[in-house]
Amino acid sequence: MIKRNLLVMGLAVLLSACGFHLRGTGTTELTIKELDVSARNAYGETVNQLKRSLQNNGVKVYTGAPYKLVLTNEVESQRAATYTGGSRSAEYELTTLLNYSIEGLNDTVLLEDKLQVQKYYVYDGNNITGSTQQASQVRQEIRRDLVQAMLVRLQQLTPEHLDELQRKADERAKAEARALQEAQRIQDETPQQSPLEVPAH
């Protein structure tokens, strides 16, 4: 019994050392420690779950943080994937597409990307209540997967990487401003032709 327990403990230590975590039990180490999080649907379940997950992973989420994660659009779609002949049941595909951006100083967009999660459920016309509950459960699973995928994306970002993106964005903005000033200067220095006067006969 003791040997078996030691074996289980040894395997657990070995797996955790390899970065393995049981789904929903591990933490995602983020190098970003401060983040402003917002969404078009400010009270939506996705943004609220994401905020909680970030806070559980040691990220301070507050308005005015140096960098801002914006969930710009979340679209859910459903389509029939397969039909079972002769019965009223069908398999449906649920897809949620989440567009997001990371903003820096002065709301400068540093990067834009999207996440997509697909899952299936069976709709049984003879058990509408059960099918509705299953669809609701699948939507919750999709939301959890989206939040987890977002944490993985954020895990790949470091403050140094974001600072570099901010520097490049600032350089682009300055170059655009200089180009506009130069275009305005050329326009101002170009003589404006007066209307052609036609001599009266």
112 forms beta bridges with: 101
Q: Is residue 139 part of a domain?
A: yes
Q: With 0.75 as the threshold, say if the pTM is over it.
A: no
123 forms beta bridges with: 90
Q: Is residue 114 part of a domain?
A: yes
Q: Is residue 191 part of a domain?
A: no
- Domain with residue 30: its CATH number is 3.30.160.150
Domain count for the chain, please give it.
1
The parent domain of residue 63 ranges over: 25-177
Q: Is residue 130 part of a domain?
A: yes
The reported pLDDT for the residue numbered 172 is: 87
Q: Is residue 195 part of a domain?
A: no
Separation of alpha carbons 159 and 156, rounded Å: 10
- Torsions phi, psi of 157, nearest 5? -95, 140
Separation of alpha carbons 68 and 55, rounded Å: 15
Question: pLDDT (tens digit, 0 to 9) for every residue of the chain, 201 residues total?
Answer: 444 444 444 444 444 444 434 344 345 678 999 999 999 888 899 999 999 999 999 999 999 999 999 999 999 999 888 876 655 778 889 999 999 999 998 888 999 999 999 999 888 777 888 888 988 999 999 999 999 999 999 999 888 988 898 898 888 888 988 999 888 888 888 877 655 555 665
Q: Is residue 193 part of a domain?
A: no
Q: Is residue 8 part of a domain?
A: no
Q: Are the CB atoms for 37 and 68 separated by under 8 Å? A: yes
Q: Is residue 168 part of a domain?
A: yes
